[in-house]
Amino acid sequence: MTTAFHRTSLLLLTIALLAASPRTPAAATDAGHQPHRVILFVWDGMRPDAISAEDTPNLLALAQHGSRFADNHSTYPTFTMANASSFATGAFLGPLGFYGNRFWAPGASGPNAKGMAADFHDPIYTEDYAVLRDLDAHFDHELLELPTLFAAAQKAGLTTAAVGKSGPAFLQDYKQGGVILDENTALPLAFARELQQAGYPLPAHAANTYPSDQLSLREDNDSPTEQGKMVTLKDGVTADATAAAETTPAPANAWMMKVYLDVILPRHRPDLSVVWLRNPDTTQHLYGVGSPEFHLALKAQDELLGQFEARLQQLGMAQDTDIIVVSDHGHSNIAGPRDLFPLRQINDGRVAGIDNDWGYSVSGGIRLADQLSQAGFTAFDGFGCMYVPVMSGLRADGSPLQPTRYDDDGHLCGKPGPYTTPNYVLPEQLPKGALVLAPNGGTEYFYQPEHDAALIRRTVRFLQSREYIGAIFVAKRYGDIPGTLPAESVHLENAARGPDIIISYAWDADAVIQGFRGTEYASQANERGEHGSFSPIDVHNTLLAVGPGFQQGFNDPLPSGNVDVAPTIAALLGLSLPKAQGRVLHEALAGTLARPLTDYHVMPTMLQPKQPATDLHMQRVDGSALQATRFDFTVQLKQLNSDGKSWTYFDQAGPERQ
């Protein structure tokens, strides 16, 4: 990868921190190492700076007692399912051929978790166990093109359990070799029946997993994993970030944790578990980072951690269990620049006056298919008409950036009603020269079915002229395009499955809303919080660990990443994961797996396009023109070297306009 670097820092940082006592390096399968039970507890979207004595006392105590990784990195793009694939394999997206939360896989077919036909004609949303099974069949049963940690554990005779959020939990064990409980199903059939016999209800869609003669729900089966209802403003669609209501995922999370602690852990005693719960992520999406609901979500999640630790003690498992707490990504608030869209108060369920000190964002949503269509491109994103009255943006004078329109007879939107942007669902026959977009919050994928190089270059030129675009990566088949980097430079290239263009929206890591840094533009939706971008706020996430396999009271200064989690767990369990791209976090391990920090060297580095795009006419999100300029961007990263090997960690990618 070093041949692709166009500008490299000459500064070589040598970290020379000695352990309190001598330690001898050892291989992961060293005969002197005693494997421990490992539980990976994923706090979806947990920012490291959200750990506090007020909201998360149990998590804070765990961090102080065990090992804390101060410079951990999410896999880019910083989506849930992208990082779920890294946790599953210890690899990046390109080598895995898995791009998602939402990507385009035309030709796949099959049902979704609700038992209905999944729509693979449009870009598909993958947080659904049944959709993942459909995609696995479509890709000749290689949904992930590298081996998984769960498969290695099961091959070695270890028992496994995957519990939690639909999609990422199932992906850990998508070959279905262990116990699985997610928001939509329970697998295998024997486990589903076991829960029923123990008096537990099943997820409401679990019956769709099996033929009706094998499993049916009891008449009194409720919906234990159903999400609560969002509290909205008077417009009926935008979250009221002042409501301080119970967070929508909290009851479902509590139920799944109860099943894990009362049934799975004592009866199945899994050697390897993943428990993936959707707080604080869902709450941050709906209400924003720093909102009253955000703090309630943290407290609810921390209470579950306390129950979890108490149950391990009660079962006599605490002394031989390694607990790893990790988040898939950080999280930002959606917002545009304050000079265009100042923060606002919320009073009585309505957007009120300007309050840039302690207000809420009412801007930042971009519907890129609409922007492209207005510029003369033929673009589709798979979504119909959208009604986004607030997050489309309110100017300083209170006027909307995208005024509400009305489809009185339903001929535009399929049914009568208000809309701010029209329908961009893919037609049955895709016209030649079309762009298919897969919106993913802070990052979007572009597909051009004919791979028309001239169209790709014209599209890139348009994107570079928009101030809400932060970084642009293109498939290497298009060669060097000024102001872009090849997708392979950030481990995203896959010729068969990958997008043609990948863009990260622009971000501001210093902008503050409700006491928390970090804003970004994002795919248009009625949400206040988002992730997925190449912002350092999204990239830097939480990683903590405690147990007999880890150092106590250890703060790791070395860069680490979500790709390192699977190799580290493999080492703790005495397993081999030879195709993983991450490393074993030896410096934080105890016993024969430990390695002194003097063996490592860290080199800060930057990637930059070979030449910038010049003579651009820049446009702001509100359509106003900026001075003609050029587009360039840098990817900041760290390269860690040890024993002739190197690992790359991406810190951020952002534009440098002049």
**Residue 475: CB atoms within 10 Å:** 22
DSSP for 502-515, written as a single string: EEEEPEEEEEEETT
Q: What is the pLDDT of residue 597?
A: 87
Helix (H) or strand (E) holding 274, with range, is strand 272-277
Confidence (pTM)? 0.94
Q: Is the peptide bond before 188 cis (omega within 30 degrees of 0)?
A: yes
Tell me the mean pLDDT in the region 530-558: 98
Report the C-alpha gap between 348 and 236 in whole angstroms: 13
pLDDT in tens, 17-71: 333 333 333 333 444 567 789 999 999 999 999 999 999 999 999 999 999 999 9
**Cα dihedral across residues 13, 19, 20, 21: positive or negative:** negative
AA identity, residue 338: R
Nearest CA to 424 out of 434, 415, 416 is that of 434
Q: What number of residues does the chain have?
A: 658
Q: Running DSSP on this structure, what letter comes out for residue 264? A: I
Q: What is the pLDDT of residue 32?
A: 53
Task: Inform me whether the pLDDT recorded for 637 exceeds 70.
Answer: yes
Q: Running DSSP on this structure, what letter comes out for residue 181? A: E
Task: Inform me whether the pLDDT recorded for 626 exceeds 80.
Answer: yes
Percentage of residues in the chain with pLDDT exceeding 70? 95
Nearest CA to 562 out of 327, 368, 275 is that of 327
**Three-state SS string across 611-655, please?**
CCEEEECCECCCCCECCCEEECEEEEEEEEEECCEEEEEEEEEEE
Report the C-alpha gap between 573 and 589 in whole angstroms: 13
Q: Sorting pLDDT into bands at 50, 70 and 90, what band is 623?
A: confident
Q: Is the peptide bond before 168 cis (omega within 30 degrees of 0)?
A: no
Q: What is the pLDDT of residue 289?
A: 98
Residue 56 tokens read as 């998360």
Q: What is the pLDDT of residue 327?
A: 98
Kindly list the structural domains of the chain, giving each domain's residue range(s) and its CATH number in brackets, ordered by start: 43-97+144-273+280-319+541-599 (3.40.720.10), 366-389+403-530 (no CATH)
Cα-based distances in Å from 312 to 12, 87, 205, 305, 598: 44, 23, 30, 11, 35
**Residue 417: CB atoms within 10 Å:** 13
Tell me the mean pLDDT in the region 546-565: 97
Q: Running DSSP on this structure, what letter comes out for residue 74? A: P
* Residues 30/592, Cβ–Cβ less than 8 Å: yes
Task: Inform me whether the pLDDT recorded for 89 exceeds 90.
Answer: yes
DSSP for 38-51, written as a single string: EEEEEETT--GGG-
- In our burial notation (b when 16+ CB lie closer than 10 A, e otherwise), range 591-618 reads bbbbbbbeebbbbebebbbeebbeebeb
pLDDT in tens, 328-385: 999 999 999 999 999 999 999 999 999 999 999 999 999 999 999 999 999 999 999 9
Q: Which residues pair with 556 in a beta bridge?
A: 69
Task: Inform me whether the pLDDT recorded for 405 exceeds 80.
Answer: yes
Report the C-alpha gap between 114 and 236 in whole angstroms: 26
pLDDT in tens, 230-281: 999 999 999 999 999 888 999 999 999 999 999 999 999 999 999 999 999 9
At how many degrees (to 10) do helices 250-259 and 292-314 cross? 10
How many whole angstroms from its chain centre is CA 379?
25
Pick from 16-20, 292-296, 485-489, 536-540: least confident: 16-20
SS3 166: coil
DSSP for 344-394, written as a single string: EEEETTEEEEE-TTT-B----EE-HHHHHHHTT--EE-S---B--TTTT-B
**All residues at 6 or more sequence positions from 94 whose CB lies less than 8 Å from its CB, including other chains:** 487, 488, 491, 492, 493, 494, 498
pLDDT in tens, 153-194: 999 999 999 999 999 999 999 999 999 999 999 999 999 999
Task: Inform me whether the pLDDT recorded for 454 exceeds 90.
Answer: yes
* Residues 466/377, Cβ–Cβ less than 8 Å: no
